[in-house]
C-alpha cells in the first residue's frame, strides 16, 4: 500500500521520525484500536490516535454527553450535549481525519459482549471510570490474549500501565480484586482536574502507537504515577510474574469473564 500525496503531507512529522517513517505509518493505518469509554481518558486518546492515522478506531460507551462532561472530555462540544458519546466521538474523529474508520458500540460493556467486541482489535484502551469494568477489561484481554493500556485518574493524580500477553503482569497481578463498593470515591464525588485526563489519556495513545510500530519501551512491568499538584512522576517497578494471580498465574481460578457487579452506564 503506497501512501497518497495527501497522506505523505498529513503524516509528514511522523514520517520524518526514524522510529516511524513510512513503514511505521503504514502499520498505524492498518491497525485497529478499541477504546472502551469515550469519557475523560477515552476522549484525548481517541483524538491523538485519529490524528496519528490509526486506521480503525472502535469506541464503546453507552452514555450520552452531559454538560458536566465538557470540562475534561475534549472530544465533545456544547452542541453535542444529549447525543450519544459514541456518535459525538465518531463525528469529531471523522472531522479530524477522514482516513479513519470508526466503529461505534453504543452499548453497556459487560461479560456477554466484551469478548466479541475486542476480538478484531490489535490493542485495547481502558478508558473506564469504575473498577468492575476495569477488571472486566483486564480479564477479557488476558483470556483473549490482547494487549491493553490501563489508566485511572482522580483529583490531581493519574496512573497507567500496559499489559502485553506473556510479557508482563496483568491488572489482577497488582490489584487482585476491586475494592469494596464506595471505598474509593468516583470522579463525580471527588472531582478531577480536566487537564489530568489529557495528560494520562495522551500517554495511553502513545503506548498504543509504540506497540503498533514496535518502537520504544512500553509500560510493561511498570506503573507510572503522576501527581499534578507536585508535578512529580513516579515509575514503580512491578513484579515480572505473579504465580498466584487468579487469572494469569500458575493455577488460575478465573477461566471466563464475569461481571463483578452491576454498574451504571458511565465510562468516564
Say whether 184 sits in a helix, a strand or coil: coil
pLDDT at position 266 is 47
What is the model's pLDDT at position 157?
A: 96
- Which residues 6+ apart lie within 8 Å of 65 measured at CB? 73, 76, 80, 81, 82, 83, 84, 85, 88
Compute CA 94 distance to the chain's CA centroid, rounded to the nearest angstrom.
Answer: 19
**Cβ atoms 159, 223 nearer than 8 A:** yes
Domain map (residue ranges) of the chain? 31-237
CA–CA separation, 265 vs 137, rounded Å?
A: 15
What is the CATH architecture of 31-237?
3-Layer(aba) Sandwich (3.40)
In the prediction, which pLDDT does 265 show?
Answer: 53
pLDDT tens by residue, the chain, 268 residues: 799 999 999 999 999 999 999 999 999 999 999 999 999 999 999 999 999 999 999 999 999 999 999 999 999 999 999 999 999 999 999 999 999 999 999 999 999 999 999 999 999 999 998 999 999 999 999 999 999 999 999 999 999 999 999 999 999 999 988 877 776 767 777 889 999 999 999 999 999 999 999 999 999 999 999 999 999 999 999 988 899 999 999 999 999 999 987 544 545 5
Amino acid at each position: 500500500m503506497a501512501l497518497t500525496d495527501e497522506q505523505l503531507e498529513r503524516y509528514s512529522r511522523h514520517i520524518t521520525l526514524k522510529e516511524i517513517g513510512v513503514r511505521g505509518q503504514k502499520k498505524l493505518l492498518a491497525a485497529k484500536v478499541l477504546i472502551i469509554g469515550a469519557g475523560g481518558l477515552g476522549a484525548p486518546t481517541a483524538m491523538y490516535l485519529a490524528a496519528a492515522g490509526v486506521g480503525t478506531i472502535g469506541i464503546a460507551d453507552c452514555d450520552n454527553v452531559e454538560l458536566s462532561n465538557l470540562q475534561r472530555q475534549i472530544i465533545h462540544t456544547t452542541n453535542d450535549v444529549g447525543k450519544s458519546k459514541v456518535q459525538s466521538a465518531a463525528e469529531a474523529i471523522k472531522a479530524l481525519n477522514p482516513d479513519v474508520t470508526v466503529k461505534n458500540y453504543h452499548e453497556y460493556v459487560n461479560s456477554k459482549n466484551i469478548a466479541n467486541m475486542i476480538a478484531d482489535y490489535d490493542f485495547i484502551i481502558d478508558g473506564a471510570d469504575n473498577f468492575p469494568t476495569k477488571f472486566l477489561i483486564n480479564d477479557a484481554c488476558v483470556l483473549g490474549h490482547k494487549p491493553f493500556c490501563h489508566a485511572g485518574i482522580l483529583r490531581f493524580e493519574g496512573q497507567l500501565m500496559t499489559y502485553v500477553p506473556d510479557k508482563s503482569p496483568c491488572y489482577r497481578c497488582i490489584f487482585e480484586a476491586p475494592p469494596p463498593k464506595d471505598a474509593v470515591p468516583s470522579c463525580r464525588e471527588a472531582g478531577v482536574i480536566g487537564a489530568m485526563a489529557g495528560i494520562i489519556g495522551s500517554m495511553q495513545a502513545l503506548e498504543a502507537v509504540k506497540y503498533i510500530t514496535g518502537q520504544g519501551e512500553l509500560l510493561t512491568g511498570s506503573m507510572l504515577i503522576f501527581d499534578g499538584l507536585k508535578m512529580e512522576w513516579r515509575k514503580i517497578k512491578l513484579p515480572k510474574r505473579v504465580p498466584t494471580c487468579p487469572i494469569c498465574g500458575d493455577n488460575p481460578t478465573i477461566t471466563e469473564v464475569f461481571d463483578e457487579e452491576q454498574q451504571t452506564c458511565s465510562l468516564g
